[in-house]
Amino acid sequence: MTSFSNPEHLKKLFDEEVITFIERNPESKRLHEKAAGPMMNGVPMSWMAKWPGPYPVYVQSAKGAHFLDVDGNDYVDFCLGDTGAMVGHSPDASIEAIKNRLDKGITLMLPTEDAAVAAQTLADRFGVEKWQFTLTATDANRHIIRYARHLTGRKKILIHDYCYHGTVDETFANLDEHGETVSRINNIGAPVDLNETTWVVPFNDLAAAEIAFASGEVAAALIEPAMTNIGIVLPEPGYLEGLRELATKYDVILIHDETHTLSEGVGGMTKRRGLQPDAVVLGKTIGAGIPAGAFGMTQELAARISASLHLEHIDVGGIGGTLAGNALSMAAVRATLTQVLTEAAFERMEELCTTWTKDVQEVIDDYQIPWQVTQLGCRAEYSFRSAAPRTGKEAADADDFELQQYLHLHAINRGVLMTPFHNMALISPATTLEDVKRHTEHFRDAAKALFG
Ligand SMILES: Cc1ncc(COP(=O)(O)O)c(C=O)c1O
């Protein structure tokens, strides 16, 4: 149920946008009808059905910060594959390296030089020395928490309430009103009771983290240094440093999942804020969309892992993936890291994102809307509450599905794509000021329609 003050008005506005959408997208409709036969909900992956409107727009082509749908509509893409394409669609340098690799062997079960260069680049940027590659950030998270359990002999992983780290079983938990760890809504087919594997704490709550660590049950803390999947929730001063101290005190392995927070710069929040995790996880955009994930460990952690494993059985211990570290992914990662995700690119991206954020704030102020906007490097997001959230729960409580569906459909009808499950915008190296202003115009129109 929407918490918008005038639900009938919102419904009327949404229905008008649906009519416009259908008028603008006949070819997408035709393709969707065709797709409904062989695919569940007419989409290749279930969450793709969650776009607003009667069917998703079908893509013809994408380059840089824009894509063209099959009806010929042009979009500025602020979703950018929910970070998978944060580098912009098909950046030239990545594409050249990928093409160059394609007819020289894609996957071999043997390393290429590209892997060593990519790993060294990451080591230099994040300050953790030893890297491994996977196909997804989910896999990287799974692997590093397996190592953590193996080394510590403890069962539980500490996570933040309302976190998201990919489809990692241990992370689909919430805190209930009594502070107990419970299964998250729609956590289907959980293999074991979440209480056996997980300890949930609120973000920005060092006291709760200390209670968890002191229990002696926690192997690792898997955290985003800023929450990004329930709106953006920034760390309060001292929170991340405090977690580091506590993790050291209780010998808990501290993992920074920087898959999204990489938006703060080439070395993510870890580098920018001088943090010292035991491990770092990356994914999504590092291969410009060619599947690639990575996890890095301190020299000390890597040495402990190596010393504890026997070479003879290293291929069957739950860490792996036949295609992990394949030659094509590694060529894509090397080129993307060294030629696309550069310091200069991040500087520009952040500057434009600051403009995006200021523009949104200006509209909020002009219409006196009780919303707020938060920036994290080249990522920004507004939420339907007046003060920035301190915890995932505060952010979740401000959620409004109907209001969000309206805003997203309004945006799509004006050639602006936002990330589907929240109000997030990403700026790529190819995004321009004109692109940002297209969003501002849509946002101002929508605010006027809702509050004017
Ligand atoms: C912080 C974070 N970590 C990991 C993942 C998993 O990424 P993937 O689905 O590409 O494995 C996500 C996905 O949204 C994420 O937001």
- Residue where one domain finishes, among candidates 291, 313, 340: 340
Q: What is the CATH number of the domain that holds 313?
A: 3.40.640.10
384 and 418 belong to one structural domain: yes
pLDDT at 449: 98
**Domain contains 2:** no
Number of domains in the chain: 2
Do 45 and 123 share a structural domain? no
Q: What is the pLDDT of residue 256?
A: 98
Atom number in ligand 1 closest to CA 284 = 10
If you measure from the C-alpha of residue 256 to the centroid of ligand 1, how many angstroms do you get, rounded to a whole number? Answer: 12
Q: What is the structure's pLDDT at 316? A: 77
Q: Is the pLDDT of residue 1 over 80?
A: no
Q: Does residue 97 belong to any structural domain of this protein? A: yes
Q: Please indicate, yes or no, whether residues 177 and 293 belong to a single structural domain of this protein.
A: yes
pLDDT at residue number 5: 85
Same domain for 205 and 154?
yes
From 144, 259, 422, the mutation candidate for ligand 1 (largest count of ligand atoms within 8 A of CB) is: 259
Shared-domain flag, residues 132 and 56: no
pLDDT value at position 313? 82
pLDDT tens profile 403-435: 999 999 999 999 999 998 889 999 999 999 999
The domain that holds 442 is classified in CATH as 3.90.1150.10
**Are 81 and 105 part of one and the same domain?**
no
Q: How far is the CA of 52 from the centre of ligand 1 (A)?
A: 22
246-296 pLDDT, tens per residue? Answer: 999 999 999 999 999 999 999 999 999 999 999 999 999 999 999 999 999
CA-closest candidate to residue 146, choices 132, 160, 129: 132
Tell me the pLDDT band of 123, cut-offs 50, 70 and 90: very high
82 has a pLDDT exceeding 90: yes
**pLDDT per residue as tens digits for the range 380-390:** 999 999 999 99
Last residue of a domain, one of 340, 357, 382: 340
Quote the domain boundaries for residue 160. Answer: 92-340
pLDDT band, very low/low/confident/very high, at 4 (cuts 50, 70, 90) = confident
Asked whether residue 38 is domain-assigned, the answer is yes
CA–centroid distance, residue 148 to ligand 1 (Å): 19
The residue out of 340, 358, 386 marking a domain boundary is 340
**So what's the pLDDT on residue 420?**
87
Together in a domain, 76 and 187: no
270 and 186 co-located in one domain: yes
Same domain, 83 and 108: no
Task: Using a cut of 0.95, tell me whether the model's pTM lies above it.
Answer: yes
Whether 326 is covered by a domain: the verdict is yes
Per-residue pLDDT at 87 exceeds 90: yes
One domain for residues 110 and 232: yes
In a domain, 432, yes or no: yes
Residue 1, domain member (yes or no): no
Q: Which of 45, 145, 164 to mutate to test the pocket of ligand 1 (most atoms within 8 A of CB)?
A: 164
Smallest CA-to-CA distance from 282 within 256, 259, 254 is with 259
Whether the per-residue pLDDT at 93 is higher than 80: the answer is: yes
Rounded to the nearest angstrom, the distance between the alpha carbon of 176 and the centre of ligand 1 is: 24
Domain contains 265: yes
Averaged confidence pLDDT in the chain = 97
User: Quick one: 175 and 303 in the same domain?
Assistant: yes
The per-residue pLDDT for 436 is 98
In a domain, 12, yes or no: yes
72 and 209 inside one domain: no
